[in-house]
Structure 1
Amino acid sequence: MPKRHLIRTAVLTAAATALVATSAVSPALAHGGDGRGDRDDRGSHDHERDRHKDKRKHPRSAGPEDINGYRAVGYLMADTPVTRDYQIADLFTTGAIRDITHINYAFGNVTSNLTCEITNTPGEGDAQNDYLRLVSAVDSVDGRQDSKNQKLAGNFNQLLKLKRQSPDTKILVSLGGWTWSDNFAAAAATPESRAKLVSSCIDVYLKGNLPVVGKQGGKGVAKGIFDGIDIDWEWPVTGGEVPSSSPDPSVDKENFLALMEEFRTQLDAYGSKTREDYLLTAFAPAGGWNAGQGGWLDPRLFASVDFLNVQGYDFHGGWVPNTTGHQGNLHPDGTENWGLGLDGAVGMYLNAGAAPEQLNAGLAAYGTGWTGVTVGDDAWQPATGWIGTKPYYDLRQVGTGYFDPAVGASWRYDAATGDWWSLDDPASVTAKAEWLTQAGYGGAMWWDLSGDYRNELGDSLGHALREAPEGPLD
């Protein structure tokens, strides 16, 4: 393929405002079977170690309800305070709270009982991180340690403290994900099962009724944390981690749409009692194969949700272990990768009838890599194997950074090891932000916040949104 002019980068500009901003320093992490929900990934945050050594008062600045008329949604994994030492308090200490409008807490489980439940059973729930784990003073949003006698601890208590300091930040619970979508099909199968599921989700997450474990939990103890529900069913009809858990995949499309309508109906009914507007959102696939069969392009979905977070990554990965390539390019790179690009993925929903302001472009705070690569300044090169995914903070200074403005994609290459990594960095983030604002879309989404490095990626997005013409949100 003909070589395009590439931008080779070595240093990061402070704001990364230009489309050709450097890619040597940036922030990010992963989302999916795709990297999303990879709970075995481990990493260390040097900046978090600094935070422990030099604890400062959190700034009083609150998270915005919108950023110049745009959304910036960030997924927050339940286990990252333990597995990555990324604390909810770090949203304040890094300044990320100013560049995020919505937090999607990941994940809540639809259990084998076909309801929303928070259990302490491994693989079925994460009560320990959700509301049982005692948080130290140094890791706490308000600098106060948890007590063994309090009814609400863990992440939920920290999110409640976050809401008190940053009331304009919207928090949603994300249900499902790559590993916890197995029971959606059965739960959506009948009108009765759909009503039961939705009612249970409202009971647990909006009414805040948590199972009692020792002195923790109880009726209403988690009320006031969540502003809505995000549906991450991966995927209706086609399945995800397993091919399909549905006894009859042919009915999944209709059942998915009916489930989303049931969520909308019950959320609106509950909101009329509490005088709150509860959000309903979903994580939407990039591939037309999943989207078309699963009901994602149906006007009934657009009428039910407030907005969709469209997957903009995992276009290329370990299923092609012998060839490097872009996992999250903005524009198609010819016919490579089936012609996938973020613009086409989001545009697919626009063409199906979604309002542009309903659509958020998905960004990845992680990279996917190959080794045994001898040509590093281009993509689609021979490799000896795929080496997995890593969070952005582990990749930001690996080798040499490159950015291709023609396709809006960044990568890094280490000639000493032969490792080649596809990732988002400030250059690609800025390009994508400028594109989405010019197209009139609603904003962007991160999977996930713990992969960022001192909010470098979040700052790149936030800066670009603030520099753009005012966005479409009221």
Structure 2
Amino acid sequence: MKNLLCLSPILLLAASCLPLHAQPITAARKPADEIIAYIFVQDRTIAPGEVDPKKLTRINYAFANVKDGKVVTGFAHDRENYAILNQLKQQNPSLKVLASVGGWSWSGAFSDVSLTASSRKKFIDSAMEFVREYKLDGIDIDWEYPGQTGNGNTFRPEDKQNYTLLLKEMRERFDREGKLLGRHLYTSVATAGDENFLSHTEMPQVARYLDSVNLMCYDYYEPDSDKNTGNHAPLYTDPADPKHISADASVKLYLAAGVPSRKIVLGVPFYGHVWGNVPATNHGLFQPGNQIKLDANYHSIVDNLLKNGFTRYWDSTAASPYLYNASQKVFVSYEDPESLKLKSQYVLEHDLGGMMFWEYSGDHNHELVNTIAQGLAGSVKPLP
């Protein structure tokens, strides 16, 4: 999951421009804050105790692929993993399990899938079959990105309207099937936090057909494309940041575009980005560097980096932590409990729909998950 940043001015869509035929989803969900975990284990089975279902409201299992216009499994152990995730409902009966379709690597078919009424029907039929076969609660569409090349994907100008049509028709089909099944079927999307994404979609209309818009407020800085270091998931904009980016800026863009606050789920990363050959000025923040290989998910940060020469610093303006190793000249931008506590407060203060994270295996002994759960509960004590 990636973000593409393009923060040039744009004429944002107004909520009043919604077409008259647009209707909100028919089954109201409980107005509780969502905690949505993306789980991406690839070609292995989920280990016992790896996922704590009591802290989650929803799991998006990543990724299902698209082949010949249909939703298909992506990895060898998906069948076993869907069964494992469904078993977690014994511990948390309100937990929902969705298949997330696409992602950065597998979004290449979406433009073709959404192009015509018949191609959309074929895809939606297969999505419904997928939900039934694996006893799921819905589908999350992670199209990266409509109207843009993404990872070298096919794209068209009409993706803008077809993205809306795909999600509208999926919502209508899921509503019909949900009545037969006696339960609500969920639809959601993962979206980039920039003006470029908004200019290539009709998010005020799209949001009406979704349970949540999972806003990816990370990857604002990436070493493979940014030659200077930066906070890759800041809550607020640091005035010293040349790109002037932040989660707060992204949320405000979506609100200004007409997306309801309760539909916005704030996305956070459980991994860091790493630059090498970074000078010591400002402990490496906003300094030149280059991409190097270093495991920097939160688990590795706690168990390895912080014990081996890396010092934690805090950008108080951005509310974002970072690491710097002066002897190795290595800079790491990441997320930790302090920053996530502040983001949880932000979600509550701005009446957002909740938080989601990419992805669960990056956590350290459920520390980040617990921080989010405690923060959204307004608690400072460990949850049971």
Same fold (TM > 0.5): yes
Kindly provide the amino acid, as one letter, of the partner of residue 206 in structure 2: L
When normalised by structure 1's length, the TM-score is: 0.70
Do the aligned residues in 2 keep the contact of 1:284 with 1:291 (CA within 8 Å)? no
Residue 207 (structure 1) aligns with: 132
Q: Note the C-alpha offset of 1:102.
A: 0.8
Q: 1:75 aligns with which of 38, 42, 59?
A: 38
- 1:327-357 per-residue CA deviation (whole Å, 9 max, x = no partner) reads 0111112262521110111221111112111
In 2, Cα distance between equivalents of 1:400 and 1:78: 30
Separation in structure 1 between the aligned mates of residue 214 and residue 295 of structure 2, nearest angstrom: 21
Q: Which residue of 1 aligns with 2:103?
A: 177
Listed as ranges, the matches of 1:177-326 within 5 Å are 177-204=103-130, 206-208=131-133, 222-223=134-135, 226-242=136-152, 244-246=153-155, 249-293=156-200, 295=201, 297-320=202-225, 322-326=227-231
1:32: Cα distance to partner? 3.9
- Give, in angstroms, the shift of residue 321 of structure 1: 5.0
Distance 1:370 1:279 in 2: 39
AA in 1 matched with 2:105: T
* Rounded Cα–Cα distance in structure 2 between residues aligned with 1:203 and 1:80: 23
Secondary structure in structure 2 of the residue aligned to 1:263: helix
Q: Distance in 2 between matches of 1:171 and 1:414?
A: 40
1:445 aligns with 2:356: yes
Q: 1:80 to 1:87 in 2, by over 3 A?
A: farther
Among 45, 57, 63, the residue aligned to 1:107: 63
Rounded to whole Å, the distance in 2 between the matches of 1:103 and 1:328 is 22
Report the alpha carbon displacement of residue 311 of structure 1 after superposing the two structures with TM. 0.8
Shift of 1:87: 2.3
Specify the SS of the correspondent of 1:90.
Answer: coil
* 1:391 matched residue in structure 2: 297
* 2:299 maps to amino acid: Y
The percent of aligned pairs where both chains have the same amino acid is 27
Which residue does 1:424 correspond to in 2? 335
2:71 corresponds to which residue?
116
For residues 114-193 of structure 1, the aligned pairs below 5 Å read: 114-118=69-73, 125-126=74-75, 128-131=76-79, 154-193=80-119
Q: Which amino acid aligns with 1:466?
A: A
| 8 Å contact kept, 1:73–1:100 | yes
Corresponding residue number in structure 2 for 1:327: 232
In the aligned structure 2, how far is the partner of 1:301 from the partner of 1:383?
A: 39
Deviation, 1:165, is 3.0
SS of the residue corresponding to residue 175 of structure 2 reads helix
Q: Is the 8 A contact 1:318 1:388 kept in 2?
A: no
The match for 1:352 is 257
Post-superposition CA distance 1:281-308 (Å, at most 9, x none):
1001111112211x1x432101111111
**Is the Cα contact below 8 Å between 1:88 and 1:155 reproduced in 2?**
no
- Kept in 1: contact 2:53–2:91 (CA 8 A): no
Name the aligned partner's letter for residue 359 of structure 1: I
Report the residue type matching 2:325 in the other structure: D
Pairwise CA distance, 1:263: 0.7
Return 5+ residue gaps in structure 1 as ranges: 1-30, 35-64, 119-124, 132-153, 209-221, 470-474
After the TM superposition, which residues 30-109 of structure 1 pair with which residues of structure 2 at under 5 Å, given as runs? Answer: 31-32=1-2, 69-79=32-42, 81=44, 87=47, 89-91=49-51, 96-109=52-65
> How many Å apart are 1:98 and its aligned residue?
2.5
Q: What's the secondary structure of 1:174's corresponding residue?
A: strand
State the alpha-carbon separation in 2 of the partners of residues 405 and 33 from structure 1.
Answer: 23
Aligned-residue offset at 1:386: 4.5
Q: CA RMSD in A?
A: 2.2
Structure 1 segments, 4+ long, off by >6 Å, are: none
Deviations 1:267-292 (A, max 9, x none): 00101111111111100111111221
Instruction: Give the partner amino acid of 2:378.
Output: E
